[in-house]
Amino acid sequence: MKRVSILFVCMGNICRSPLAEGILARIAREAGLADRFKIDSAGTGGWHQGKQPDRRSIAIARAHGIDITEQRARHIRPDDFEEFDLVLAMDRANVAELRAMAPGAGNIMLFGDAALQTGEDIPDPYYGGPEGFELIYTRLLTGCIALVETLGADQASLSGKTSSVR
C-alpha cells in the first residue's frame, strides 16, 4: 500500500501542529501502521524556527504518554506542497495563508474537514491556559484516530489500541 504523507500546519509550529504530529505518529505506531505514514509539521510563520514546541504542548503530550521534545519548529517550504499528500491546516486563517503561498495546490485542507468532518477550526491555545491545550489535544486525538482509520490499511478499528494516548 502507498505511504501517505501528512503535513500539519499551524501559525508558529509550536502548539497545535507539533501536537498533531506527535499524536498521529503514536496512534499509527500503536496500530502497527507507522510504516504507512510520513508525518511532519510546519508553521505559516517562521519566527519560532528551530525552537521546541511550546512547554504547554510538551506537557499535555507528556501527560498522555507522547514525547514531542525532539521536534523543532520550521517554516513551511514551497516544496512541502509537492512532497506531502495532505497539508492539513489547523484553522481557516492558516488555510488562507497556505493557499496564498501555493495557489494551485490541491492538497491543502482544513483539519476539521479532513479529519473531524465538522468543518471546525482547531483554536490556537497560545494565549490561554492549560485547559485550552487539553481541549485541542482531545480534538486532535479524535481527528488523528479518524485519519489512521481512514488512511491506514485494513480500515482496522483502533478502539482499544490507543488507550495509552487517550
**166 catalytic, yes or no?**
no
Phi, psi angles (nearest 5°) of residue 86: -130, 130
Which of 40, 91, 121, 124 is catalytic? The answer is: 124
**15 catalytic, yes or no?**
no
* Paired strand residues for 39: 6
Q: End-to-end CA distance of the chain, in Å?
A: 28
What angle, rounded to 10 degrees, do the helices at 16-30 and 130-151 form?
Answer: 40
**124 catalytic, yes or no?**
yes
Report d(CA 68, CA 22) in Å as an integer.
6
Cite the beta strand spans of 11-71 per DSSP E: 37-43
What Rg do the C-alpha atoms of the chain give, in angstroms? 15
Q: 53: which DSSP letter?
A: P
Which of 15, 16, 56, 144 is catalytic? The answer is: 16
Which of 10, 40, 54, 144 is catalytic? The answer is: 10
Residues identified as active-site: 10, 16, 124
